A and B are shown apart, each in its own frame.
Chain A
Amino acid sequence: MHIMEGFLPPLWAALWFAAIIPFWILSAKRVKKIYEDAPHLRMLLAMMGALVFVLSALKIPSVTGSCSHPTGIALGAILFGPLPMVLLGTISLLFQTILLAHGGLTTLGANAFSMAVVGSFVAWGTFRATNKIGTPPAVCVFFAATLSDWSTYITTSLQLAAAFPATEGGFFASATKFLALFGVTQIPIAIAEACLAALVFNLLTKYNPEDLRELGFLRTPKKISAPETK
């Protein structure tokens, strides 16, 4: 999903920066709030940022004979809400841009929007929706991570199509072209990402039930009946 340096015309690059800046500001405020008001959650938040680092570094082979990578954004967005992950995802994108020449500074706005904004909000929304109808939490995480990954790559395809409409067929012809390039490759990779996200979630419920309970992911056992926070 990394659009390479210089591969969006200046006007489009500027437009995506304009779109992402409000999210960066809101995200920074949210992270600061968690950092100050709930210091015991710092470790969990750092782990969610680290998950993006690991998963977005893994190039996974796919059934199309191409390689692509997961994003790792979903679990953090599910646990902390979509906003904090906007900043954490951007940090990972910056690392890859500066050290690996993967992605670009001019395309950072567009890349952060597809991965950290669309990916986060889709993950969070999918989790909430599936959880509401009584699906087990780990299964909700699985669906949320799959859709989050797909939606990121769909967004990238549409961003490219908008910047490069075909002479014949315009935006839709280009969108089909880019979706064909990214879409099929991403199907199994999104599922692999979802398996790993559900795995980490399961481990967290085992090793960190207190924090998950505080964030509202585990039902408080009746016997203990902890006082309701908020």
Chain B
Amino acid sequence: MKNWLLLLASIALFVTPLLYFANDSSAEFSGTDDKVETAVNEIQKDYSPWLRPFWSPPSKEIESSLFALQASLGTGVIAFGFGWLAGKKNAGKL
């Protein structure tokens, strides 16, 4: 499988839903994980979580920056790894 095709396909999969719902305000693009709360309460009206997180990000902005931190930590390790592997592979050729 060609790499550019794989990259293009994953970008297309990201963009298509956004374009499809571009003029439709009913699509909120909220997370499915959060929708479980509503679904559980539809099944069992009186259920409330018996433990709440001891800390949660005080705002959406802080939450998104922490998600960015998570992604950048991962990307950092992967990028370092590929650099290290490329360097090891080319060692002695230079």
A residues within 8 Å of B by Cβ?
1-7, 9-10, 43-44, 46-47, 49-63, 65-69, 92, 95-102, 104-106, 136, 138-139, 142, 160, 164-167, 174, 177-178, 181-182, 185-186, 188-189, 191-192, 195-196, 198-200, 202-204, 207-208
Contacts and interface: CB of A to CB of B under 8 A. Distances in A.
B78 A10 contact: no
Contact of B13 (A53, A100, A188, A198): A188
A177 B30 contact: no
A56 B42 CA distance: 28
Interface in B63-89: 63, 66-71, 73-78, 81-82, 84-86, 89
Contacts, number: 184
Secondary structure at chain B's binding surface: helix, strand, loop or mixed? Answer: helix
Given A7-B37, A43-B85, A195-B7, A50 B74 contact: yes
Interface of B: 1, 3, 6-7, 9-10, 13-14, 16-18, 20-21, 24, 26-37, 39-40, 42-44, 47-53, 55-57, 63, 66-71, 73-78, 81-82, 84-86, 89
Contact of B49 (A6, A165, A167): A6
Contacts of A5: 49, 51-53
Nearest to A70: B10
A177 B43 contact: yes
8 closest pairs, A vs B, by CB? Answer: A6-B49, A65-B27, A53-B74, A101-B56, A54-B74, A50-B77, A101-B53, A57-B71
